[in-house]
Structure 1
Amino acid sequence: MKNLSNLKKYPKILIGLVLAVSIGAISIFLYMNRVTDIDKMSMTYDQVFDTNILSQNITTSFKQTYQLKDYTVYGENLMLYEEQYSTESTDKLLGKNVLLKNLVNNQEFIFTFSGGVDSGIDLSQLDEGLYEIYVYDHYKQKRVYFSEEFVSEKFTTMRRNETVKTVTLHTERDFLSGIDVKMEKNYAFLMVMDNTPISSIYDIVLDPCGNTIDITSNSVDYGYSNEKISEAQSSYELALMVKEELEKYGLRVLIPREQDEDLSYYGSNSRVGKGYESNAKVFISLGMVADDTIVYPYIITSPYTNALLANEIAYYMKGHGISMTPVSTESRLQEGVCFDVIYQGEQGDDFTSWEMYPQIRESGGKSTFAGQVAHASENKIYADSYGMYGLYFTYANINVDESIDYYLSNKEKIAKNLSKGILQYFRVEKQEK
């Protein structure tokens, strides 16, 4: 009672203590009830963003519009199409600029659709927000809408600083009904949220070649081997080394087969199936080649891409002391990069042409026509899936001793610089502890 009596003699002190306690209680309440990244996984735009700002910035009708019919996601790139995605003709969106306007803060991003499924909207660059989509057509800015209403599957970007972005494409007229807004057409919106990564979602798949089940002959291809090297073993060891390097940067990496496990490239429990089921963004096979001329490593990439990832890796590796085999004469490809070969389909195939390497063809989802080859029917479940950016990294030639010796003498350096090339392309920086 003595302390209380003393406080009554000094009312300012008493008031100060009461205010301090009140502020502390309010701060704790606000902290405990704040919107976290985990909360946002199940929240809608009107629960995350300031609806007053959205209402002020939104436009419900436009004089200039641009109709689209399709889209793909490959790696971390969103491609939009004026017609249904196919290889039969060049889409009219090629060469045009696409503008994204963030209704939360009026920030704008511009992307040029230069062809290739890896050259559209880089989803990893987008800040959190709700974006309107426009196309510059003959210097006129036109609002994008789709012929049909839909909500896309949620896409999750790679981990960066222990954070991912989740992205959803919306084209429903009543998408903004939560703020009493009705759209005139199926205008397209991209909703982007920053989230905490989920452990079951992976960033990269490293596929060690060898021990491959060949479903056409119901046999196992154990890979190349001689007295110096075994492809199945060396590929697995290289995958472990690359995995270790990538995980130093906070990425989650999946090796789809155990050391002595036999797996195919078809079905939900296959190498690519595990990649799809884990929502990975990149699928890189590590293997060997049998050739009379190849000495140094090289990279095979999909002809449906602009080879941006492969070019970045090859450029980085060569710049850091790794010799790369010149396997292409195309000026747009770095030394050590080539496109996969397109084969024409046999009679009875639903698809008229396909890529030779199943590692690249079957990992790219809709973008590389996964599941379309006659013997790939088990992968039809991924025919409309988001595509992993597929590469085949050839590290040695079983027919040339010099090539094997080069790899065995430089495998740690190759693993490190292969990893660094991947990290540089995706702008993944080492986390500060």
Structure 2
Amino acid sequence: MACWGLFLPGLFSDRDPPWQATGASVLLGLLVTTTVGAFAGVWFGIRGNFGSPEEGDLWWWLGSEGLEYLEVGRLWKLLLLGGLAGWTGLVLRSVRQLDEPLAGLGHFLVYAGGSIGLLFGASMLYTPETNMAVTEFWRWWVVHMWVEGIFEFFVIAIISVALVSMQLLEKEDAEKAIVFEVFAIMAAGIVGVSHHYWWVGLPDFWVPLGTTFSTLEFVPLVFVLYRSIGEYRSLKSQGESFPYKIPLLFILGSSIWNFIGGGVLGFFVNLPVINYYEHGTYLTVAHAHAATFGAFGLLALGLGTYILRVVTPEAVWDPTWFRVSFWFMNIGLTIMVVASLLPVGFAQLRAVYTDGYATARSLEFYEQPHIQTLLWARTFGDTPMILGALAFTAGAVRHLYAARKDSIETARIERRLLQ
């Protein structure tokens, strides 16, 4: 999705700002360095290679902070924050060429990307000496508001821009939906994060209040998809060809999983009587996998196919690999969630109710024969997803090669004409 944010403004303006390609290359290098460093740091950190707290702060800067979902050392977080700021700056440089108002569609993409960096900054507001309740407060601001709030803002912004560029959505309708999403995040997202507050010692009434509000964030997405599907059906009824069927298929699949993972499963695990007991169980894992890969993963792949569709010559475009990839991934994710993650989660929930939270998280629980069977059942979901990833890679490599070949041939013809 980061590549898409850099790609689209240039598509609208037919030109890139000076040094934009160089900036994108530097950003890619920073991302690779941060990713490799973070993984290596966590690995060496938990092995004790960076020392203990009594021996200094090297473990904190390079190793593992020890916080769930925010494990990586502070240096890698700072580099990631710098990368997010750099990405926002590069997109802003392109958007400024579009000659649109500050409340225009392209600027909303900048605001959404900038908000991701802004909210991630909450992970900088604690140190090893900070009280755990305060640390957990800011951690949940990142975990919930970053992923479940601002990411939804980014999703609706980037999908709206994509649908407008496909001529399936009017620019004004897209801007209205994004504005509604901004208010939904401010009114629903910030209050919605409070279903985690009981975890840090605040009153219990925050749990039902947060549960109610945290399910409203994807409503604008339903609106833009409804308008876009109507436009697509209108084009189809008129016999007009639509070149972006595969990207649209991925976007629709992403939105359905957003509804299932973020909406249905998210609402279920946030029900007060469930939420109080299910933290850290496989019910959370089912919700997270369905929402994260289903919503964001499929969306990223869909935007990737859109870019490939634009740069690939019409004569060599073949959607077969991508269509196969789409169905493999969706079938695999369905099997993973339904046949493995949810059953284990319900078994854990029952164990929490009857024997306590520690029992449901114990090694003895996972070593039970029927739990082992359910865990191994995930293989039947993982395998189609791996095959889908391989199919997508094969299709992407094939089309990138065709696009590069066409670009070289076009440049050769232009040189001949100049001669």
TM range (shorter): under 0.3
Structure with more of its chain in helix, by fraction: 2
Larger radius of gyration: 1
More strand by share: 1
* TM value normalised by structure 1: 0.22
Structure with more relative contact order (C-alpha pairs < 8 Å, separation 6 or more): 1
